Copies of this chain bind each other. A is one copy, B any other.
Amino acid sequence: MQFHQFFSPSVQHTLDVVGIFVFAISGALLAVRKNFDVFGIAVLAEVTALGGGLIRDVIIGAVPPAAFTDLGYFVTPLLAALLVFFLHPHVERIQVGVNVFDAAGLGLFCVTGTTKAYDYGLGLTASACLGLATAVGGGVLRDVLANETPSLLRWDRDLYAVPAIVGATMVVLCIRYDALTPLTSGFAVITAFVLRLLAMRFHWRAPRAWNRRSTVREE
């Protein structure tokens, strides 16, 4: 039995497509802000949505990656790009909604990424790492392509990695104690999702280095 097909295939696929869609929206919106043209918007939407899973699949040897074998995974970001292209002031106005969906994508991908890596024979710690990479990798590629410092790494952004780390850790603990069920998987998704929502609501941030003396300009 493969854990990453834990939910029924159709439920899993629907959840994946929703996560891909909201990640694509965030990539397309950054592309609009960076003044890219319509193809730049589409490329950034694709990379943001599929990049995390692509990194995971290449590392665990699951080639060709799911991003290239499922047409729905490929078309979804294009739809998101079109939507942003025509309606972006409205999409921006509903930024709160986008953030909520993005948090849902984060929670979902950290769980499915972890279970897929474990299915491919990786250890528990490595699986959790790849779960984290699945959840945040697309956003990092998005920021690198847009020539911005990855918001994942910046201290002045609300916690993003921690919810995904918590979700991935819950999954590997469940695997370790033989308790991974659809229920516990779903609970891990929801925990990561809610933690991210709380981090945004209360502007939780992680500390910077102690005794920090700025040796480069603040940015």
- Report A's interface with B, CB cutoff 8 A: 31-41, 43-44, 54, 58-61, 63-65, 68-69, 71, 74, 84-86, 88-89, 92, 120-123, 125-126, 129-130, 140, 144-150, 152-155, 161-162, 205-216, 218-219
Interface contact B40-A154, CB-CB below 8 Å: yes
Considering only CB atoms, which chain B residue lies closest to A130 in the complex? B68
Copies in the complex: 3
Knowing that A33-B216, A40-B155, A44-B153 are A-B contacts, what are 7 other residue pairs whose CB atoms are under 8 Å apart, sorted by A's residue number?
A32-B212, A36-B153, A37-B155, A37-B208, A39-B152, A41-B209, A59-B64
Query: What are 23 A-B pairs with beta-carbon distances under 8 A?
Result: A31-B153, A34-B153, A34-B216, A36-B208, A37-B153, A38-B208, A38-B209, A39-B152, A39-B161, A43-B152, A44-B153, A58-B59, A58-B63, A59-B65, A64-B121, A68-B123, A71-B123, A74-B125, A74-B129, A86-B209, A88-B211, A88-B212, A146-B149
Interface contact A207-B64, CB-CB below 8 Å: no
Given contacts A34-B149, A153-B145, contact A162 B39 (CB under 8 A): yes
Q: How near does chain B come to A40, taking the closest CB pair, in angstroms?
A: 3
Interface contact B68-A129, CB-CB below 8 Å: yes
Considering only CB atoms, which chain B residue lies closest to A214 in the complex? B35
- A161 partner residues in chain B, CB cutoff 8 A: 39, 43
Given contacts A88-B209, A155-B37, A205-B37, contact A69 B148 (CB under 8 A): no
Interface contact A37-B126, CB-CB below 8 Å: no
Interface contact A147-B148, CB-CB below 8 Å: yes
Interface contact A155-B36, CB-CB below 8 Å: yes
Given contacts A85-B209, A154-B37, contact A68 B149 (CB under 8 A): no
Q: How near does chain B come to A163, taking the closest CB pair, in angstroms?
A: 11
Q: Which 3 A-B pairs have the closest CB atoms?
A: A40-B153, A61-B63, A37-B155
Give the distance in Å from the alpha carbon of A150 to the alpha carbon of B146 in the complex: 8
Give the distance in Å from the alpha carbon of A147 to the alpha carbon of B147 in the complex: 7
Interface contact A126-B209, CB-CB below 8 Å: no
Q: How near does chain B come to A161, taking the closest CB pair, in angstroms?
A: 5
Interface contact B145-A147, CB-CB below 8 Å: no
